Structure 1
Amino acid sequence: MTRTRVLILGGGYVGLYTALTLKRKARGAVDITLIDRRPYMTYAPFLPEAGAGSIEARHAVVPLRRTLKGVRVLQGKVTGISHASRKVTATTDLGEDLNLEYDELVVALGSVSRTLPIPGLADFAIGFKFVEEAAAVRNRILGRIARAATTSDPALRKRLLTFVFVGGGFAGIEAFAETEDMAKAALRYYPELSPSDLSFIMVEAAPRILPEMGPDMGDYTKHELETRGMRVLLETRLESCVDGRIELSNGESFEADTVVWTAGVRPAPVLAESDLPLGPRGHMSSSPTLQVVDLEGRIVPGVWAAGDCAQVPNLVKGEGDWCAPSAQHAVRQARHLGANIAAHLAGAELKEYKHKHLGMVASLGLNKGVAVTMGLKLRGWPAWVMHRTYHLAQIPTVNRKLRVTLDWTIALLFRRDMVSLGRVEVPRRAFEEAARG
């Protein structure tokens, strides 16, 4: 029997769960290939905890080859999509070109950081979308604290201990709050410093933070953060950060050694260079069955899309025209997509995706959080517990659930590890110095 070649672009939520579902439901009828630049799926909701040292960074990712047994997993960057010829081109990190053919294509490339042409941004700032970035931010903050404790220059100390986060959405607020919580905890080992020396500044262009949770929860979160000594600057834009010289639209100017950019995302750029139809914002347009449609709403045979790179109609009344780009929708869309591809190959009827959003949860540091779920609004410790419970249930594989649970259990018995491994980013420096004599 001829197997259908299914090619999945992207190893995030959609790619991983689509492959798992399709493998189970179309057993023996498909050859599945998945390609992603990274060999793991990043569970983004745990990045702030990984950045704060509450869990090990490697426990916030799920290895693709170990999880997707029976699926061909390739590591490379997708560089071109030609649906007319049913071919995808990609490049490995070693510079080798890959040419992949398919019968059915799943576009699950997700999104990349949406940056702006701000002077100094590309050279000085760091993102917070992948686990390596979260680990780097952790190392940066702890390393700057250690350096600040050893300098006698007050201006340098102030620069080292000033941390600017840009973007007040979920990713930005959680990273902002979790890392500040970690930084204050680290000060117990530095008697030379006090909490008042730390300067955590959030810059948000919109009139409020956490807009998805509504104005009252956004106002509560802002108040809680400011009570902790953090600054939240609304309706303010970063205009320059050349060499750490911060220029804001409100006229403020100061020195900072760390800028973390979390101001939104955009669809993977390679989509714009493909022959697939795109919506006005650069997303793939999907039907309720998660098949790609053209500008006239006609099904494009052989192409499916979901997650952050796709606009999926929201069939639940009162929730907007499109499904929100959340992990909750992405996981459920992926399972639905895998089942629909299996049904399509078997000649069965396809089902429309419809899911009422259960709510949103956000962590603001240890024992602190906010949540809006099923009309119920929670704050403080109950919201923090809900955040951990929900995401522990959602992270794939029993292996990762147990490892994260173990991290949390150890944290109850011992204080967080405050060691900075910043030099792991330059592993040859010590050897080069020794070789030069």
Structure 2
Amino acid sequence: MRTILVVGGGYAGFYTAWKLEKKLRRGEARVIVVDPRPYMTYQPFLPEVVAGSVEARHAAVSLRRHLRKTRLITGAVTRIDHANRTVTVRPPVGAEFAVDYDIIVVTAGAVTRQLAVPGIAERAIGMKHVEEAVAIRDRLLTAFDQASTLSPGPERQRLLTVTFVGGGFSGVEGFGELLALATALIRRYPELRADELRFHLVEARDRILPEVTDKPGEWVVRSLEKRGARVHLNAQLLDATDGHVVLSTGEEFDSELIVWTVGNAANPMVHNHTDLPIDSRGMLVVRADLRVGTDDAPVEDAWGAGDDAAVPDLAAPHAGAATVPNAQHAVRQGKLLANNLVATLRGRKTRPYVHHSLGTVATLGLGRGIFQYHRLVIKGLPAWVMHRGYHVLAVPTWERKVRVLAVWATAALFGRDIVSLASVQHPRDAFVTGGDLVLSGADAPRS
């Protein structure tokens, strides 16, 4: 029985393994998934986790619960030696060890792109994982609690200032949802005024949301600014030391919360620690049927998909384009990869990956959204409803769909939950201080 090793349990990896469990015959092959986390993050729900509209655990799909026939290894693959059909795994505890395989599926995913901006490594929070989305929400709620005890002034203004760096989908959706949460919170804090909120979105290009055309993107900017936000286009973050933000436009301000959403970079393991072919961007070279290699030089028993693979986009109007790294492609690539792998095991032909976009939809906060499909543009509440409808259908497993719908129904009846649990990031503080003084958020001691 052959061993299929899946590197990464994200979108593409999870759907590959999930589909293989359904397609493989008894004794045909065994499947192993290696991932540092025990769950797949459904990233389109992270902005709603930030806003408290979706519970954090409901945006995380348990691998052990849903991949019941798959062997799961918790750890990070640090090297792929395909010549010897071996990977090196670094577990959370203990020494590295080798895992042998017959067929490898590389779906390790991309990582957050980091730039050498002073202060970012010390102050910023990303928005790629559930833990980060929860931390962003808790940091804002804690800042409101702290600001409500202060008199108007620079310190109170700093606590009520939020900065998002990056105007792609992740940044704009997170920004819009957090702005909606902050606007709703003001009504619960009579000590604070709405005009004290300072929300800044910083984008280096001359527009946000590159996935939509110019006019819808301009409408999103106007919509955010009408809600009190400030969108800085053609602006770069030069410094964020101690939370003091310095922009290339000359503007400066202090910000309690800085969220970094400038896009993805090639996975360092794929880029530097594999003998599989990679391109100039550090992406895995794959064919249209998701085999690693080219039509002239395929790599036997190696497959790839998702954000770390340069998958040819056969639906693009010009040749040579690769699919963009988003959920639509990763999910469908994972399913096709499983089908093609099974077809290969049984001596059948594989199919190329071709997917025509279903359109682009984004949430901009509770009751606000935008949808575009070619020339059709829908704005406001209808687009927001479409966003929720699409993603509740797209999130894997009926169990997750029901949980998310239940939370939405509860929020519709009783409103948002506005309790900060930032103290869980430092669970020993209450024990160490004896309960006399418990700090939270950025001011908590690192014990």
- State whether TM-score is above 0.5: yes
**1:379 corresponds to which residue?**
379
Partner of 1:257: 256
Q: Displacement, 1:90?
A: 1.2
Q: Using a 3 Å threshold, how does the CA distance of structure 1 residues 57 and 436 change in structure 2: closer, same or farther? A: closer
Offset of residue 223 of structure 1? 0.4
Residues 37-436 of structure 1 correspond to what in structure 2 (within 5 A)?
37-152=36-151, 154-271=153-270, 272-293=272-293, 297-318=296-317, 321-373=321-373, 375-434=375-434
1:25 is aligned to 2:23: yes
| Residue number in structure 2 paired with 1:4 | 2
TM-score, normalised by the number of residues in structure 1: 0.97
CA drift of 1:412 comes to 1.0
* Secondary structure of the corresponding residue to residue 308 of structure 1: helix
Q: Per-residue deviation at 1:164?
A: 0.4
- Which amino acid is the alignment partner of residue 179 of structure 2? E
> For 2:116 and 2:374, how far apart are their aligned partners in 1?
40
Name the SS of the counterpart of 1:105 in structure 2: strand
Aligned-partner SS, 1:304: strand
Q: Percent identity among equivalent residues? A: 45
Alpha-carbon separation, structure 1, partners of 2:374 and 2:213:
14
d(CA) in 2 for partners of 1:189, 1:374: 41
Q: 1:245, CA displacement in angstroms?
A: 1.1
Report Cα offsets for 1:312-348 as digits up to 9, x if no partner.
1111142771112110111111000000000011111
Partner of 2:151, secondary structure, is coil
- Which deviates more from structure 2 when the two are superposed, residues 329-338 or residues 17-26? 17-26
Supply the AA of the counterpart residue of 1:133: E
Question: What amino acid maps onto 2:421 in structure 1?
Answer: L
Letter in 2 for 1:188: R
The answer to whether the 8 A contact 1:358-1:374 is kept is no
Work out whether residues 187 and 193 of structure 1, in 8 Å CA contact, stay in contact via their aligned partners in 2: yes
1:372 partner SS:
strand
More displaced stretch, 89-98 vs 418-427? 89-98
CA distance in 1 between counterparts of 2:436 and 2:149 reads 27
Give the CA deviation at 1:27.
2.2
Partner Cα separation in structure 2 for residue 16 and residue 96 of structure 1: 26
Letter matched to residue 243 of structure 1: D
Cα distance in structure 1, aligned partners of 2:20 and 2:421: 40
Q: The residue matched to 1:19 in structure 2 has which SS?
A: helix
Task: State the 1:258 CA deviation.
Answer: 1.0
**Cα 1:319–1:50, aligned 2, differ >3 Å: closer, same or farther?**
farther
Aligned Cα RMSD in Å? 1.4
Task: Measure, in 2, the Cα distance between the counterparts of 1:417 and 1:433.
Answer: 28
Q: TM-score, normalised by structure 2?
A: 0.95
What are the superposed Cα offsets for residues 83-129 of structure 1, whole Å, 9 maximum, x if unpaired? 11111111111133231111100000111100101111111111000
2:443 alignment partner in structure 1: none
User: How big is each residue's C-alpha offset from its partner over 1:212-239, in whole Å with a ceiling of 9 and x where there is no partner?
Assistant: 1111111010000000010000010001
Deviation at 1:130, TM superposition (A): 0.2
Change (3 A) 1:15 1:409: same
CA distance in 2, matches of 1:323, 1:268: 17
How far apart are the structure 2 equivalents of 1:251 and 1:66? 51
Deviations 1:286-328 (A, max 9, x none): 101100115x851111110011001111111427711121101
**SS where residue 211 of structure 1 aligns?**
coil
Q: Give the partner amino acid of 1:7.
A: L
Which residue type is aligned with residue 243 of structure 2?
Answer: G
State the one-letter code of the partner of 2:238: E
* Partners of 1:328 and 1:288 in 2: CA distance: 16
Amino acid of the structure 2 residue aligned with 1:248: L
Task: Choose which of 13, 16, 24 in structure 2 pairs with 1:15.
Answer: 13
CA drift at 1:375: 4.0
* Code of the aligned partner of 2:20: L
Partner SS for 2:222: helix
Secondary structure of the 1:288 match is coil
The aligned residue for residue 444 of structure 2 is none
Contact 1:370 1:383 in 2 (8 A): yes
Amino acid at match of 1:219: E
Q: Structure 1 pair 287/146, CA: closer, same or farther in 2 (3 Å)?
A: same
Distance 1:79 1:317 in 2: 34
- For residues 404 and 347 of structure 1, do their structure 2 counterparts lie closer, same or farther at Cα, with a shift above 3 Å needed? same
Mark the runs of 5 or more structure 1 residues left unpaired by the alignment: none
